[in-house]
Amino acid sequence: MIQSMTGFGKSEVTIDELQINVEVKSLNSKFLDLSLKLPSAFKNLDLSVRSFVKEYLKRGKIEVMIHYEKKEASKKIIINKDQLINYYNQLSEVSNELKLKIDSDLIGYALKLPEVIQHKKDTVEEDSNGEILNAVKEACKDLNSFRKKEGNALNKELVKYVNSILESLKEINQYEKERLPKVRDKLKKAIDELNLKSQVDEKRLEQELIFYSEKLDLTEEKVRLKEHCNHFIDSTKELNSGKKLGFISQEMGREINTLGSKANNISIQKIVVGMKDELEKIKEQVLNVL
């Protein structure tokens, strides 16, 4: 069964004090167009995530976002004691040399100087990389479930449009037989108006009518269009058939255009216009099929 390229999936995993959230979004695209948004703490996972998403999601404009929240207030603040003592001693020396009263808050000034208070960066141990990648996998599974649901609805729409074309194809039959007699009547009327009846060879006239009958015959186009429509419906049962459905719809379009050019009948032309309208709906929806 076909799947839609549009989808959304998410998952969560807890590692130490970090609550990690993974979100995956997908839109339609001819190829795989992958965008990753990772925190600096997870940059080492870039290639692994790309490789996994490429294998699992196949095609689409895909955006993967990984972000995290701390469950508790951060305790990763470090005071560089050696640097703090060094600053304090130097400030004390300067105060003594200038014969200034040592400020009781000298330690406070020292704390504001560079490299005294250090914030340790959030990091994830390499042993935890597997857990994060597994969370990406779960988000991709969630997205694929979404794609399948959308694909079911998409399949119903596509089959409905194709069946509409097949029904229109049957309607053409009732107008086919009346075309050749009309051509015959036009030729005879033109001959009578030009007073050429005595100069016209009846056998030649019959030959011309046979030529027109072959030129106006729609049997071949109808058979091919019916085959393309049935092939299209069968192909909707296959996985990853989006590009194939696009090619089949192009072939359907060629046969419909030929029917229109050979119609020579206003009623058939109207039917062909309706078929073209349904085909445009098919082409628009096929763009979103994986």
Tell me the pLDDT tens digit for each residue of 134-178: 999 999 999 999 999 999 999 999 999 999 999 999 999 888 777
Reported as a single tens digit per residue, the pLDDT across 198-241 is: 565 566 666 666 566 666 778 889 999 999 999 999 999 998 89
Q: Angle at Cα 232 formed by Cα 231 and Cα 237, nearest 5°? A: 95
Backbone φ and ψ of 68, nearest 5°: -140, 160
Q: Which of 42, 43, 46, 36 is nearest to 68 (CA)?
A: 42
Fold of 7-73+126-146: Ribosomal Protein S5; domain 2 (3.30.230)
Q: Give the end-to-end CA distance of the chain in Å, rounded to a whole number.
A: 10
CA–centroid distance for 48 within its chain: 23
Q: What is the pTM of this model?
A: 0.71
H helical segments located in the chain: 46-57, 81-97, 106-111, 129-176, 179-193, 202-216, 219-235, 242-262, 266-286
Q: Nearest 10 degrees: CA dihedral of 191, 194, 197, 201?
A: -60
pLDDT band at 183; cut points 50, 70, 90: low
The larger pLDDT score, comparing residue 259 to residue 186, is at 259
Q: Where in the chain are the domains? A: 7-73+126-146, 77-119, 149-286
